[in-house]
Chains A and B, each alone.
Chain A
Amino acid sequence: MDKQRRCELAEFAFRVRRNCIRMTNNGQSGHVGSMLSMADVITVLYNGILKNVSAEDPKNPNRDRFILSKGHAGCAVYATLFEKGYFPEDWLMTYYRDNGKLMGHISHHVPGVEFSTGSLGHGLPVAVGMALAGKLKKASHKVYCMMSDGDMNEGSSWEAIVFAAQQKLGNLVGIVDYNRVQALGHSENVADLEPLDQKLELFGWNCVTVDGHDLEAIENTFTSLPNNGKPTMVICRTIKARGVPWLEDTVKSHYGFIPNDRVEEAIAGCRAYADECMKGE
């Protein structure tokens, strides 16, 4: 990855983080940590990985489908879709507010959003159905579904994992934003999924693990996914609330937002983090 591209992606991810911080603060909502952990991955996905996805032709039948199963972090998708021109800037600060344009959990009423979620364990079964339909039509697009630690607790996710392998859905890409923090604690103390990669491989999936904050590694991973007819899970090892040092890897960042008196400090943290990303190795 050349420096210009790295800088562009880091800047995009910074803007996503900044808007998530401002929107959740303005709405006094929560889940800012879940948004910041996925900001780098969603940045890469919407800047070159998802094919035929554009605000100009949002219903293009050949578009890759993206479902956010961790719907509580929908603000990060809204912030991304805004950057990609799906809706005007004045929508952003209506997030979580009366008569707002942007619902707390991700909503298909927002242009560019394929599917509404909010209760965990719903995204992957639907993505499997979409991928199965695509396979039957011999369509070339892929279906991506981003999940969380908590999502992977749900039995319905594992039901879908079994069935996707059974149907050999090579057009299905799962993504785990694996920040290892869920609502009431660190995942290893709640419902430990380790060794997640081995479990998924035993369930018949390809499994690739990547540093979910290394923009170049994320891009390289998604541009070289296995092509062997099996569904693939990309485990993105991330840090909850990445970019805001005093909030990183904390349980409180799951439900919280950043208070007024610390917003600018938090944004400055994300700025510094982005600047570091731009330097590369």
Chain B
Amino acid sequence: MRTIFNKTLIDIAKDDPRIHMILADIGYGEIEPFDEAFPGRLYNVGVAEQNMTGVACGMAMEGNVCITYSIANFPTLRCLEQIRNDVCYHNQNVKIVIIGGGVSYGPLGISHHSTEDIAIMRALPNIVVMVPCDCIEAEAAVHAMIEHDGPVYYRCGYKNESDIHEGPINFQIGKSIPVCDGDDIALFFTGPIGYDAKKAVKRLAEEGISVRLVSMHSIKPIDKEEILTSAKRFGKILTVEEHNLSGGFGSAVAEVLAEAGCPCELKRLALPDVYVSKVGSQEWLREQYGLGQDDIYNAVKEMLNK
């Protein structure tokens, strides 16, 4: 996914000289083509994320579109106050991109796990929070991110993600994208874990259970219409996210349901409120922490009492 991100950004930047990358010494093997294509439009501030974000804000105040880009929590939590006070309060055109949402960097450990980011970033006014699920969404999300006038948080996956969508998509900030329709329950996911959800849904279909599967790539703003329509239609919603249970995507869905007074059974599948301290790959860690394909499959069956 990070490769398609960088490729798409280069394609857009050819016609948009406002675009600059401001890095903090991360991106080896991925960011070099941008630098080669656009000399003088990529700046590496060194390992200094607060300065990266402040510099990006200052450049954006002069009419540029600046991409900050790094691993997991480095361009978010390390410099959160710069994002809040500088970028978001001044509503500047800074796009904060992380590589490795969730536990993509599995065995590297919790310093490289971005598992509270959605909750934290969506709490900030003025920012758009987007979580593409596959390379098809990732490409569209880069276009949407640049077209949007203001701060964006782009939670990118890592590499080798499988496609979830099977055809062209209509990607809009604030809207979701259905993967397949169903009759029994709605399953909303955000991010690449949707591929496991899709596999679980296929298994369920073989047993005659029909699931409406929806990618919610836009967490802020969120697609209230889809949430409330599905709530009324099915009365049961399952959310799946590779993120701490607290405050993330599932919480955002719960807020919409609660405020609408919409009676609907909601279950949130997410990482438990612990640090992911076991050592292993992303796939293995998902299984260890209750986010494996079987967990999704079982959650649907439990909600349908089957």
Instruction: Say yes or no for A121: interface residue by CB 8 A criterion.
Output: yes
**B89 and A162 within 8 A (CB):** no
Residues of B within 8 A of A272 (CB): none
Instruction: Say yes or no for A111: interface residue by CB 8 A criterion.
Output: no
Instruction: Give per-residue flags for A100-130: 1 if the beta carbon is below 8 A from chain B beta carbons, else 0.
Output: 0000000010000011111101101111111
Inter-chain CA distance A136–B60, complex, in Å, is: 13
Interface contact tally, CB-CB below 8 A = 91
Instruction: Say yes or no for A163: interface residue by CB 8 A criterion.
Output: yes
Inter-chain CA distance A130–B59, complex, in Å, is: 5
Residues of A within 8 A of B45 (CB): 159, 163
Instruction: Say yes or no for A137: interface residue by CB 8 A criterion.
Output: yes
With both beta carbons as reference points, the residue of chain A lying nearest to B87 in the complex is identified as: A126
Known: A108-B90, A136-B40, A156-B82. A125 touches B50 (CB 8 A): yes
- Number of B residues whose C-beta is below 8 Å from A? 27
**A126 and B62 within 8 A (CB):** no
**A121 and B50 within 8 A (CB):** yes
Inter-chain CA distance A122–B56, complex, in Å, is: 12
A197 to chain B, nearest CB (A): 22
**A129 and B61 within 8 A (CB):** yes
Decide if the interface of chain B is mainly helix, strand, loop or mixed. Answer: helix
Instruction: Give per-residue flags for B237-276: 1 if the beta carbon is below 8 A from chain A beta carbons, else 0.
Output: 0000000000000000000000000000000000000000
A137 touches which of B62, B66, B90 (Cβ 8 Å): B62
Instruction: Say yes or no for B282: interface residue by CB 8 A criterion.
Output: no
B95 to chain A, nearest CB (A): 14
Inter-chain CA distance A115–B82, complex, in Å, is: 13
Inter-chain CA distance A114–B86, complex, in Å, is: 12
**B82 and A134 within 8 A (CB):** no
Instruction: Say yes or no for A267: interface residue by CB 8 A criterion.
Output: no
**B58 and A126 within 8 A (CB):** yes
A166 to chain B, nearest CB (A): 8
Residues of A within 8 A of B54 (CB): 122, 124-126, 128-129, 156, 160
**A115 and B43 within 8 A (CB):** no
With both beta carbons as reference points, the residue of chain B lying nearest to A139 in the complex is identified as: B62
B269 to chain A, nearest CB (A): 37
**A156 and B90 within 8 A (CB):** no
Instruction: Give per-residue flags for B60-103: 1 if the beta carbon is below 8 A from chain A beta carbons, else 0.
Output: 11111010000000000000011001100110000000000000
**B53 and A125 within 8 A (CB):** yes
Q: Which of A155-199 touch B at CB < 8 Å?
A: 155-156, 159-160, 162-163, 166-167
Instruction: Say yes or no for B48: interface residue by CB 8 A criterion.
Output: yes
**A125 and B51 within 8 A (CB):** yes
**B43 and A132 within 8 A (CB):** yes
Instruction: Say yes or no for A1: interface residue by CB 8 A criterion.
Output: no
Inter-chain CA distance A131–B58, complex, in Å, is: 8
**A122 and B86 within 8 A (CB):** yes
A126 touches which of B46, B48, B55, B63 (Cβ 8 Å): B55
Residues of A within 8 A of B19 (CB): none
With both beta carbons as reference points, the residue of chain B lying nearest to A107 in the complex is identified as: B89
Inter-chain CA distance A122–B66, complex, in Å, is: 17
With both beta carbons as reference points, the residue of chain B lying nearest to A167 in the complex is identified as: B43
**B58 and A133 within 8 A (CB):** yes
**B85 and A130 within 8 A (CB):** no
Inter-chain CA distance A241–B171, complex, in Å, is: 57
With both beta carbons as reference points, the residue of chain A lying nearest to B63 in the complex is identified as: A133
Residues of A within 8 A of B9 (CB): none
B41 to chain A, nearest CB (A): 9
With both beta carbons as reference points, the residue of chain B lying nearest to A116 in the complex is identified as: B89
Known: A121-B50, A156-B82. A129 touches B56 (CB 8 A): yes
Residues of B within 8 A of A136 (CB): 40
Instruction: Say yes or no for B177: interface residue by CB 8 A criterion.
Output: no
With both beta carbons as reference points, the residue of chain B lying nearest to A121 in the complex is identified as: B50
With both beta carbons as reference points, the residue of chain A lying nearest to B54 in the complex is identified as: A125
- CB within 8 Å of B: which residues of A? 108, 114-119, 121-122, 124-134, 136-137, 155-156, 159-160, 162-163, 166-167
Q: Which 5 A-B pairs have the closest CB atoms?
A: A129-B58, A125-B54, A133-B62, A159-B51, A159-B48
Q: A122-B85, A163-B48 are in contact. List 6 more A-B contacts (CB 8 A).
A: A116-B89, A125-B58, A126-B54, A126-B55, A129-B57, A160-B54
